[in-house]
Amino acid sequence: MSSFLTKRLTYMIIILLAASMMIFFLYAMTPGDFISGNLKLSPERKAELREIYGLNKPIFERYGNWLGNALHGNFGYSLAQQKPVLTLFNEYIWNSFLLAIVSTFLTWLIAVIIGVIAAYKQYSWFDTLVMVLIFAAMSLPSFFIGLYLIKIAAVDLKWLPPGGMLNTGSNATGMEYVKEVLQHMTLPVIVMTLLGLGSLTRYFRSNMIDVIQQDYIRTARAKGLKERKVLFTHALRNALLPAITLVGFELPALFGGSLIIEKIFNWPGIGQLYMQSFSLRDYPLLMGFTMLIAILSVIGTLLSDILYRIADPRVKV
């Protein structure tokens, strides 16, 4: 196990180093930046700012400085927000995490339950209905579902607020604050859950169909075990094993998958901050966010490899 971890950690360092080079040079070679695109600044002030932020230095020297600072936990300074990048992440990332963790939990819970039932009742009316809804959920774009829910639940029925995290001018504290946040996050969580539900339910249904056709499931039934125990004790455990590989993709998706949703519902998360920075070409913040996603992707992949190795020691990764 120690040699496995050593090898994987070495790969992680090489991958992250390559990712940092690609991210930096991609943004550095993109035409225009926040300073040159700012019409309020005079040419003299632009030249002064480019000198202050080191944008006039050779590109390899800039990469070396950026990488050295990043290794010390400094991902630069946002030119548009006038704050350190990590300070901005700390202000916004927890709001995104709240949306992501709730929708991920609901997505997996509902997908497992529906997938198991659909597999058990294969080709029944329930299975057919599930498949139709799955393809519908996978076909509809997120902005359409989001805007449609705002129209129905917020505008027509006035059940829920259309966006934001709190009511305008709210000074709520304690349970009132929690209640307002829950009301505002309901619609974005529904959209994010629907978007993830389609592919995951189909995945669990396929795995479950393969498992319940195995000989040991027939043996368990022949022993007279109750159908519920056969499904949820013997079949589901083995059907969930391949899902371990999906854990690695969930970690970066916690923050990278809600960019459009946060914009639609005006949710003050890291996704909306990224979209604002993208339009302003605030490259230090964009590079920091992209590097964060790369780090989470590598950590998630390592986590899934370790879990799979623990679940099945025969696997060599």
List the chain pLDDT tens, one digit each, 317 residues.
677 778 878 888 899 999 999 999 988 888 777 787 777 778 888 888 888 888 888 889 999 999 998 888 888 888 888 889 999 989 888 998 899 889 989 998 998 889 888 888 888 898 889 888 888 877 888 888 889 999 999 999 989 998 888 888 888 888 899 999 999 999 999 998 988 888 888 888 888 888 888 888 888 888 888 888 888 777 877 777 777 777 667 777 766 667 788 888 999 988 888 888 888 888 888 898 889 888 888 888 888 877 777 766 665 55
pTM of model > 0.75: yes
Cα distances from 304 to residues 15, 29, 210, 294, in angstroms, run 16, 34, 22, 15
What CATH fold (topology level) applies to the domain 91-283? MetI-like fold (1.10.3720)
Q: What is the largest CA-CA distance in the chain?
A: 85
- Is residue 76 within 8 Å of residue 288, measured between CB atoms? yes
- The conformation of residue 232, written as its DSSP 8-state character, comes to I
- Is residue 83 within 8 Å of residue 172, measured between CB atoms? no
Structure tokens at 64: 């070396």
